[in-house]
Structure 1
Amino acid sequence: MRVRVALIGNPNVGKTLIFNDLTGGKAHIGNWPGKTVEKKEGKLLHRGVEIHITDLPGTYSLTAKSIDELIARNFIVEEKPDVVVDVVDASNLERNLYLVLQLLELEANVVIALNKYDVAEDLGYQIDVNELSKFLGVPVVPTVATTKQGIEELKDTIIEAARTKDKSKKFSINYGKQIEEYISKMMDILQKDNELSSKYPVRWLAIKILEEDDEVLKLIDERPIKDAVRTLLSEAKNALGEDVGVILAERRYSLISEALPKILKGAKPLTLSDLLDKALLDKYLGIPIFLALWWALFSFTFNVSAPFSDLIDWFFSKLGEIAETYISDQQLASLVADGIFRGLGGVLAFLPPIFFLFFGLALLEDSGYLARAAFLMDKVMYKLGLHGKSFIPMLLGFGCNVPAVMATRTIDSEEDRILTILVAPLISCSARLPIYILVGSAVLGEYAAVGVFSMYVLGLVLAVLVALSFRRLLPYFKGKPSPLILELPMYAKPTLRTTLIHMWERGSLFLKKAGTIIFLGIVAVWFLSNYPWESVHQGDRVVLENSYLGVLGKYLEPLVRPLGFNWMHAVALMLGFVAKEIVVGTFATLFGLTAEGETSEKLIDALRSSGVFTPLTGLAFMAFSLIYMPCLATLAAIRRETGSWKWTIFAVIYGLALAYSVALVIVTVGRLLGYA
């Protein structure tokens, strides 16, 4: 026997923990077809029955107004899973039962996992589980996901529900005489369409039409009965005199309120969560506390991960040295040492900060604090044209744009998420800092620190201006950011196992997807910068100017000449596409130096004396390096998170255009003011 299960529930009810408890933490992670929302699937064998579980996005309802709601509803309607397990927060029963009623109206075969049962008891609540099961007409299993309490019973109940499903047993809410008349008339029309009535629950369709559900109306408009449906809908709206959807929602909540006194006893006392929120959400203390916590996370991520990254880099560099020593063929040795080992080391050096970052994020998320961080920053971000949850990716961008892009998946709205992805690379990451220090030290003199700081300010200002511009100019982003609607969960003690699972699920995506693309890109750059071999490698000298990359730089020189740049700048910027740190290494190679250790001062002196930069062109180059196309790792993350080459290419094009424009303004204004 094989049972297909859909796992659904409100956000922050412990659904992920339930999924991990059921599947043993073994899941296949991907994206929903045509969507960029994470899809998680797992399976287990229980009492000889193979159970396949699909974890649906967390959602408060099935109105299909957000991408998460649409995915969840479409899966239940189209795929018709054998059982739908709704994870309900026992400590917040009234809010959670609304989704249960919608599932029952959808005629899903529901099993309730009444999670956080221990929390409800600690709060002084007494829940009559039998009365709740009687009210809903479905099995209810109390669970405590953190300790796996009730999980075995839940598995048994899933199998039993799949075996004894009664299709004739239907849950129905009485919406009052007038609305019920229109529901009945609408059902009569829908019954005439055999294809629709055989595929969808007819009463549910009728209710959704009266609610003016966009997705259902689109479906109806493709059917022969559309005119009759539209006529009756118009008649119902005129007769009822107000939004039918509001009336239906109010009736569902009214039904819950009427039943709750029989099910739930006890009053909620003042909790530790309430006391913590008084400080953590305070209008004066909230943001300073948040910034302090975030700085701690930021420091933890990059300070703790630095030795691991250095170790990885050292290990692959040693492998490169061994390859150069034992491979006699010079070209093959260079490919293996530089193109493969050092290239692979460059990719894997990204892993420690990303894994540690997601470990820290998982701790904040599982503790309940991450939702509060978004709540704190919502008003500020809203005025800037961004979603409240955009603040977290933007802040991460100061460390690395890759995890910043990956962190946008916490944003529910597709439009807000993509907008955040597009502006996140404008935040000055740590990889750009070596460029600022090198160029600033070489040509800005005593103003070098000011020049470096100005780049961070410029990145923030541009991110805001670009977000506001896209809101006004691009139809896809037209309008205001979607409102931040979230339910603040109670604070909880994260479990190490769940935190590690979250860290691995998110971090491994970079290893599997972005890492492959970066590695191939580095090998490609190795080829372009080393061939034609005889022209580039002249004895002990490497003449990068003669390489395919150098030739391309010469072709591009006329384009960058208005900015005061030459072919060297063009080549450095092209190589910086792979990783921004390579820009410094490119200048070192061009001057026959290395960019490490004591030679960094020699490189600064070489740039200062060569005349490659003036103070004006140096500042323009720093700005261009900040703004132009994201590095290959970030582009791979953008492609991964948007699921679209269109947005990835758009990020490259708008970044180049913006970088060129800003650099040109700096040079032009500077020259008008008399600076060289």
Structure 2
Amino acid sequence: MLTVALIGNPNTGKSSLFNTLTSSYEYVGNWSGVTVEKKVGLLKNKQGQLVDLPGIYSLSPLSKDEGITTQYLLQEEYSFLLNVIDASQLKRNLHLTLQLLEVGKPLIIALNMIDVAKRRGLQIDVKALSEMLQVPIAPVLARSGAGCHELSQHIATYQPNQSRSFQLQYGSIIDEAIIELSERLPEETKYKRWLALQFFEENSIVRALLESQLPKEWLAELQLTTENAIRKLSGVSPRQYIQHVRSEAIDSLMNKCVQQKNEIAIPFSERIDQIVTNKYLGIPLFLAAMYVTFKLTFEWVGGPLSDLLDGFLHGKVNDMLNIFLDQVGASEAIHSVIINGIVAGVGGVLVFIPQIFVLFGIISFIEDSGYMARVATVMDKLMELVGLNGKAFIPMIIGFGCNVPGIMAARSIEQPKERLLTILLTPLMSCSARLTVYSLFVGTFFPKNQAIIVLSLYVIGILVALLLAKVFSLTIFKEEKSIFVIELPPYRLPQWTTLFRGTWEKGKGFVKKAGSFIFGGSVTIWLLSYSGPSGWNLPMEKSFLHVIGNLIAPLLTPLGFGNWQAGASLISGFFAKEVVVSTMNIIYKAPSEEQLQGILSNFFTPLQAYCFMAFILLYVPCLATVGVIKKETSSSRWTWFAVTYSLCVAYFLTFIIFKIGTLLGFA
């Protein structure tokens, strides 16, 4: 069976092409590093599989996700490479293509975005380029699918040209060093010439491999001898010299295969960027976009839909279940666990599904439109002040949906210390799970200002993360040289199918969690509320849940919400933040969201409610987030640090908010 490795620069349409060729959906975004792991799909023709590798600019990796591609090429078995090229950025994309040709494996080029190239006045002679590179080239439009059927057939019937001999000559010094190194490698070693080239290009993964096969002293001597000779000849390092030779070869290809026609004076994307990336307007426009997002989520669209769903779940569904349980003669315990446990707990979370999907839909629109990369660019100066760069803000934005993929997206950050710092700070971003808590409380205490209250919580999360980034970078993490390179893709109007898929992929995780984790948590919370030290079917005041909440309540009194119900909810929130709402539904035995809001108004003031939401925002990450922190850092020490510092920060900041609010007369 064929195994095709899909590889290319970021934002070339690689993931979109993967979806088209495999009829399966994988996450598509518009910034560098979105595909942080290889992903596998079955080709439509059923004759093989397609492996989607992270977007990279070079086979010499700078970041963790770029290293995945190099390791795949070295360690895995694959039939041939499918290189996706952005036709409108042909010159830059060819740098990777030449490196792939040097690997020596069969190669097909998918020349994507040919429509954009034409609008920019580029006329590409595809046939001439194919002949010069000695590989097949298929023009495609990955977004619309044009040319993809022909490409799919081409893949299925492709017979690699074994006589292909495309090979750049780097001059006698480099070529002789390549031969000398290749001859010393074990006979069974694959890609000898490419390994030697990558060694002189300072590829860290290749160097580690060669040092495991050859004496380090000999390799160091060969490198020093070659470097001295190259510097004497050209005044640059071997790496710079090799890249210069490639650049000259690419210039020759461009001169022979590409003609520049009249181009539009100022492209559409550049005209918009003059506004959205303006140093004065960029951040205010981002905050305005977030404000509109929350208005749509809580007031204009998501809120009314949630009210309708709440009426359905706690009206018709609840009544039908009660009738059914009465007819089958269900015991009091069974009746209680279904109505007061499952329906109250899971149903209390499910009512927020419309708001969650509206939020995810807007995030998907922002990603697919190309605006996300601009946000990172706008934030770069601010992030630089606190010891990070703009690329670190992308995982944080992803964290608005869910902290888990946000932390995983930190793999695209080149510097290890910045990557670790981003992992530790991303859980401070307000995820969709917290949104269920916000929705409940702002609907109760701030019905006329829901969007601005939620926006303030998101801003608090960002500001706290930036402040801690500065503190950590000056203390725990010593500053290191930062690299900020990010692709600014052209603005595009997202396709409805892609937008729908992106929203569904984000939102279905929330639905799955409601059907599994929240279901289990709700049953557990009901069990703790139904039983106690003295037996079963007890009043809430004698239950285990009351005992647990009372242990926590005194610690919460300085924060303004020192009641046992809040304490019990926060404990359950460690497993999943949505379970906070489930726990409150079960504790207060509220048959609907509207009635729960009425009950909460007797236990919280607006100031206490805001403090509770602020604490939920910042206190310990959920169990899934803690797990991914452990996986990404490979360190129990850093995992415990993430849990501990966030709890301390949450306590301190909530205490300050409560005291200031009290002094201002909001108590």
SS of 2:354's partner is: helix
Aligned to 1:445: none
Q: Which residue of 1 aligns with 2:303?
A: 306
SS of the equivalent of 2:301 reads helix
Aligned equivalent of 1:340: 342
Following the alignment from structure 2 to structure 1, what is the Cα–Cα distance between the partners of residues 592 and 481?
44
Aligned to 2:449: none
25 and 642 in structure 1: CA distance in 2 versus 1, 3 angstrom threshold: farther
1:76 has 2:99 as partner: no
CA contact (8 A) 2:95 2:246 kept: yes
Distance between the aligned counterparts of 2:339 and 2:653, measured in 1?
38
Q: Could you say which residue in structure 2 is the equivalent of 1:12?
A: 11
For structure 2, the residue ranges without an aligned partner over 5 or more in a row are: 29-33, 447-451
Q: What is the aligned counterpart of 2:178 among 153, 160, 183?
A: 183
| RMSD of aligned Cα (Å) | 4.3
Give the SS at the match of 1:58.
coil
Once the two structures are superposed, residues 66-124 of structure 1 have per-residue CA deviations (whole angstroms, 9 ceiling, x without a partner) of: 12321122222222321211111111110010110111111121101111112222322
Alignment of 1:189-268 (within 5 A): 189-190=184-185, 193-194=186-187, 198-241=188-231, 242-267=236-261, 268=263
Greater shift, 81-90 or 576-585, is seen at: 576-585
Deviations 1:506-544 (A, max 9, x none): 333444468633332232222222213975745xxx32x
CA contact (8 A) 1:439 1:618 kept: no
Secondary structure of the equivalent of 1:52? strand
Match of 1:380 in 2: 382
Q: 2:317 matched to 1:319?
A: yes
Contact 1:209 1:216 in 2 (8 A): yes
Aligned partners of 2:26, 2:42: CA distance in 1, in Å? 8
- Distance in 1, Cα, partners of 2:210 & 2:107: 27
Q: Name the TM-score, length of structure 1 as normaliser.
A: 0.80
AA aligned opposite 1:319: V
Whole-angstrom distance in 1 between the partners of 2:453 and 2:312: 35
Point out the more displaced range, 337-346 or 552-561. 552-561
Distance in 2 between residues matched to 1:520 and 1:322, nearest whole Å: 22
Q: Are 1:86 and 1:111, in contact at CA under 8 Å, matched by a contact in 2?
A: yes
For 2:653 and 2:20, locate their aligned partners in 1 and report how far apart those are by CA, in whole Å. 52
Describe the SS at the equivalent of 1:62. Answer: coil
Indicate if the aligned counterparts of 1:535 and 1:546 stay in contact, CA closer than 8 A. no
How much has 1:50 moved relative to structure 2?
0.7
Decide whether the 8 Å contact of 1:18 with 1:145 is kept in 2. yes
Distance 1:356 1:438 in 2: 17
Look up the match of 1:636.
624
In the TM superposition, residue 363 of structure 1 has moved relative to its aligned partner by 2.7
**Distance in structure 2 (CA, Å) of the matches to 1:668 and 1:118:** 59
The partner residue of 2:649 within 658, 662, 671 is 658
**Structure 1 residue 155: Cα displacement:** 2.1
| Unaligned ranges ≥5, structure 1 | 30-34, 442-449
Q: Residues 398-457 of structure 1, C-alpha deviation per residue, up to 9 Å, x if partnerless?
A: xxx54465456655228656644543443565555579779999xxxxxxxx99998777
Partner of residue 112 from structure 2, selected from 115, 120, 136: 115
2:31 maps to what in 1? none
Task: Give the structure 2 partner of residue 140 of structure 1.
Answer: 137
Aligned partner of residue 337 in structure 2, secondary structure: helix
Query: How far apart are the structure 2 equivalents of 1:37 and 1:70?
Result: 10
Deviations 1:221-252 (A, max 9, x none): 32254332222123323443443222212221
Separation in 1, partners of 2:509, 2:228: 52
> In structure 2, what residue type is equivalent to 1:214?
S
Verify: 1:546 aligned to 2:527, yes or no.
no
Report the CA distance between 1:626 and its aligned residue: 4.2
User: 2:383 aligns to what SS in structure 1?
Assistant: helix
Alpha-carbon distance in 2 for matches of 1:607, 1:94: 62
Deviations 1:302-342 (A, max 9, x none): 44233443444444435345434543312111222233233
| Residue 296 of structure 1: aligned partner | 292
- State the shift of 1:346 in Å: 4.0
Following the alignment from structure 2 to structure 1, what is the Cα–Cα distance between the partners of residues 408 and 126? 35
Separation of aligned partners in 2, 1:625 and 1:84: 47
Secondary structure at the aligned position of 1:370 is classed as: helix
Q: Of the candidates 562, 566, 570, which is equivalent to residue 567 of structure 2?
A: 570
Post-superposition offset of 1:202 = 0.7
Say whether the 8 Å CA contact 2:79–2:106 is kept in structure 1: yes
Matches within 5 A, 1:59-70: 59-70=56-67
Go from structure 1 to structure 2 and tell me whether the alpha carbon gap of 1:667 and 1:139 turns closer, same or farther (over 3 Å shift).
Answer: closer
Q: Is this contact kept in 2: 1:471–1:480, CA < 8 A?
A: no
Write out per-residue CA displacement over residues 483-525 of structure 1, whole angstroms, 9 at most, x where no aligned residue. 3312222223322222223333333344446863333223222
Once structures 1 and 2 are overlaid, which stretch shifts more, 617-626 or 327-336?
617-626
Change (3 A) 1:472 1:346: farther
Q: Counterparts of 1:483 and 1:385 in 2: how far apart (Å)?
A: 11
Matches within 5 A, 1:39-50: 39-46=38-45, 50=47
Identity within the alignment, %? 38
**Alpha-carbon shift at residue 3 of structure 1 (Å):** 1.5
User: Please, which of 101, 105, 118 is the counterpart of residue 102 of structure 2?
Assistant: 105
Letter paired with 1:523? V
Among 123, 128, 131, the alignment partner of 1:126 is 123
Distance 1:585 1:25, change over 3 A: closer
Would the aligned equivalents of 1:316 and 1:344 in 2 still touch at CA under 8 Å?
Answer: no
Measured after TM superposition, the shift of residue 127 of structure 1 is 1.0
| Aligned with residue 364 of structure 2, among 359, 362, 365 | 362
**1:585-600 equivalences in 2 (<5 Å):** 597=594
Match of 2:497 in 1: 497
Q: Compared with structure 1, are the counterparts of its residues 585 and 75 closer, same or farther at alpha carbon in structure 2 (3 Å cutoff)?
A: closer
Distance 1:641 1:7, change over 3 A: farther
**Which of 627, 631, 635 is matched with 2:618 structurally?**
627
Contact in 2 for aligned 1:9/1:88 (Cα 8 Å): yes
State the structure with bigger RCO (CA 8 A, min sep 6), 1 or 2: 2
Mapped to 2, the partners of 1:62 and 1:134 lie a distance apart of 24
- Between Structure 1 and Structure 2, how many residues are aligned? 635
Q: For residue 543 of structure 2, what is the amino acid of its counterpart?
A: S
Question: Is structure 2 residue 43 aligned with structure 1 residue 53?
Answer: no
CA deviations 1:437-480 (Å, max 9, x no partner) are 79999xxxxxxxx99998777544422232234445556xx545
Work out whether residues 386 and 467 of structure 1, in 8 Å CA contact, stay in contact via their aligned partners in 2: yes
Q: 2:146: which partner in 1?
A: 149
Once residues 602 and 342 of structure 1 are traced to their aligned partners in structure 2, the CA distance between those partners, rounded to angstroms, is 14
- Whichever residue aligns with residue 491 of structure 1, its letter is Y
Question: 1:358: how far off?
Answer: 3.3
Contact 2:36 2:409 in 1 (8 A): no
Higher mean alpha-carbon deviation, 459-468 vs 579-588, is at: 579-588
Distance 1:333 1:371 in 2: 52
Residues 35 and 53, structure 2, Cα contact 8 Å, conserved in 1: no
Shift in alpha-carbon separation, 1:127–1:291, aligned structure 2, 3 A: same
SS of match in other structure, 1:282: coil
Question: How far did 1:577 drift?
Answer: 4.1
Measure the CA separation in 1 of the matches of 2:406 and 2:545: 34
- Say if 1:406 and 1:637, in contact at 8 Å, map to a contact too: no
Q: Compare 226-235 and 618-627 and name the one that shifted more.
A: 618-627
Deviation by residue 1:151-210 (Cα, 9 ceiling, x = unmatched): 23212332343x3341x63432212222222222222222xx23xxx2431111111222
Any idea what SS the aligned residue of 1:277 has? Answer: helix
Q: By how many angstroms is 1:9 displaced?
A: 1.4
Q: How far 1:552 sits from its partner (Å)?
A: 2.8
Q: 1:649 to 1:101 in 2, by over 3 A?
A: same
**Secondary structure of residue in 2 paired with 1:41:** strand
